[in-house]
Each structure stands twice: as structure tokens, then as C-alpha cells.
Structure 1
């Protein structure tokens, strides 16, 4: 699952926090309202939170600030090292990914930001089905990620990036597994979740699924 992107994150680890601050013009809109997005994901979470794609620990800090218990899952050793230093032992950051992770004590929320697009749609469905089996009624999935209202909107985003000579962004949009809200809605509802979506910027939406 997404292991084809692991080398990218090993190389990106040292400059990730600079990237999300908006210094890269190509990705400025992708990370617009970054801190607000993290805060909103944290605000929608409760209880013991299982966080996927911890990265350098930015969302984790927002979750801790809300007083939540967090168990983190991160496949990149370089990212994990930075997160562990930043979080100073307040959170266990374990190796693993959305589909393969150590057994942990019961959790009430599954959260992630800027990471779910590393899974194909088939893998997304497999992951959500697994969380559905692990979460009790009322448990939540709260993911913030790039997604689109339709396949046409996705194609338009690529065309727009090319027209602006944002070649890295255009390549990113075509290389990774970005999906659409209708597909995610069907996956969530099939696995016993309600589904709501809120737009955060031109790229990122918050997807919230509550277990029925």
C-alpha cells in the first residue's frame, strides 16, 4: 500500500514542514489554511485516536492540544524520527500504514491529513472496511485530503496546473491516486458509515464518516 511513495517521503522529511508553510508556490493552494485544517480534524475527533500518516507530527500536536490520546502510524523511518523528536515521547509512533498496522487498544476515531491519496480506490475501500469492523457505533473516520467533486473536476485541476507551468504539481496529480467524493461516499456508506464532506481550499476536503 503506497510503498511506491516511501522513497519520496524519506527525501521530503527534512523539508516537509517548510513545504506546508506555503513557501513552494506550486503547492501554496494545496496547503492553504493548513493549520485550520489540522485544527478542524482534531475538533471532530474524540477518545483514543488512531492517526495514519503521522509525517512530522503536525496533526498529532493538534490532537494532543485537544487533550486526546493518540497512537500514530507512519511508514517512513525518516518522518517517524522527526515526529518522535517533535513529540518528545508524548505519543507512540509505530511503523505501518493504512492497511498494515500493529494491533492497538480500542480506538474511537481514525484520522489522517494529506495521505489517503497514496491508496488506490480498491485499497481505500479495503481500509475503510477494516476500520468499520474495528470501530464501535459512533466511531469516526476524519480524513483531510485532496479529492474532487467529479472526474471532470479532477481533469480540470491537472489542466490548470499545466497551464500555470506547475509541472511538479501536475505530475503529482497524475502520479498519485486522487479520487472523487462520489466514490468515497459509496465506500463509506457500503461499510456502515454516514458520509459528509466539507471543502477547505481548492484541493482539500474534510471527509467525515460516522459509524452507524
Structure 2
């Protein structure tokens, strides 16, 4: 997450855990199978892990439960406070995808966060992670993305028809990517990448570094 969306998470921090359990009808489909999605990310990670956009610690807790060493990177002070209160003795870092300290990391993970970067920033972040990861290291994340631009526009139209204006505004304002664009960004950095659909909005991405960075 970059600093441009800090105000969103300052406002959302206190109710975030309620939102992901489906209590907000506008976002129910976005967070459908939320627990399974987080588990899928956690089970593909190899220790030690750096987690971006750790938020209130929902993925962090699952990683720790698997015996994985985690550095939780989160720029929002409000989110960090909830995370630290929820999970004692967790290693928390103030930072984001483009500003972090992660030497020795074998996996970078995130959920519902990579879309806060523009496509250019996504490429920069992938490059930064590639420079740190060993061959065989992974980037694993789950986030909203679309197969085509037309699919994105159709989903926004459907949201407006349902009067889900907050959801539609999010889909228009933030940087939800098109899958072929994401695939190209990773492959240019030497990753083998796969996509697995989790619900109408969210895909699971698993990218393995295949060669040393130039």
C-alpha cells in the first residue's frame, strides 16, 4: 500500500475485521471465502516471510501458526495498533511495497493490497522483491483483478445497478489490474507465474523466481 490511500485505512481500521466476514453487503462477494483465501496464501509461503499490507494481522496469524517467521509491513498506524494488540511479539515494520527492509526473505506475501499500486509501481515493487529473493523464492498474493478491461467495466456497471456505489467507486479509483498486464510484469523479472480464481473478484497469484536478477 502506498501513502495515497492512508486516509481510507485510517477510517476502515476499526471495522475492517467485520467487513471481511461479510457484514457489508457491498463487499460480501469481494471477501467471499476470505478464510480459505488467506489459508491458500499461507500454505504456499516458505519461511522467512515478509508480508505487505498486514493490516489487522489476519494473514499474519495464519503464517505464524504454521511456524513461519514473519515480518509484517504495514503503513497505517491504526492498523498496526490493532495487529500488535491482536498478536503479541509480532515483528511489525512501518513501510509498504516500495519502502521496506527484507533481507533474507524467502517469500513475499499479501492479500487485498497490491491494487494500491499503479501498474508502473507494481513493476517497481516486483523488481525490488526480485532483487532480494533467492532462486526458488516466491511472491504469493491474493487480490482483485480482471481477465480483461471489459470485465472490469462490466463489474463496475453491475455494482452501480445494485446501488453498490462505494464498491463501484473503489473499482474506479484504485488500480485493479488486468491479468495479462500482471503476467507480463512478473515474467520480465524472471518469474514463473500462475493464477487461480478464488471468487468473482479475487485471484491467487503464485510467482516463483527462476533466475538470478541481472
**Alignment TM-score, normalising by the size of structure 2:** 0.96
Which residue is equivalent to 2:143? 145
Q: Over the residues paired in the alignment, what is the CA RMSD in angstroms?
A: 0.8
Aligned residues: 210
Is 1:74 equivalent to 2:51 in the alignment? no
Task: Name the SS of the counterpart of 1:31 in structure 2.
Answer: coil
Structure 2 residue corresponding to 1:116, chosen from 111, 114, 117? 114
How high is the TM-score relative to the length of structure 1?
0.97
Output aligned runs, 1:155-194, within 5 Å.
155-194=153-192
> Does the alignment pair 1:94 with 2:93?
yes
CA distance in 1, matches of 2:39, 2:32: 13
Query: What stretches of structure 2 of length at least 5 have no aligned partner?
Result: none
4+ aligned runs moved over 4 Å, structure 1:
none
- Deviations for 1:57-98, whole angstroms, at most 9, x for unmatched residues? 000011111110000100000000000111111x21110000
Distance 1:201 1:7 in 2: 27
Aligned-partner Cα distance in 2 for 1:199–1:44: 15
Mapped to 2, the partners of 1:30 and 1:151 lie a distance apart of 18
1:55 maps onto 2:55 in alignment: yes
Q: Which runs of 5+ in 1 are unaligned?
A: none
Paired residue secondary structure (1:61): helix
**Could you say what secondary structure the match of 1:138 adopts?**
coil
Matched, 1:16 2:12: no
Matches of 1:8 and 1:77, distance apart in 2: 12
**What aligned pairs does 1:34-49 form with structure 2 within 5 A after superposition?**
34-49=34-49
CA deviation vs aligned residue, 1:143-190 (integer Å, no higher than 9, x gap):
100000111111111111111111110001001010111000000000
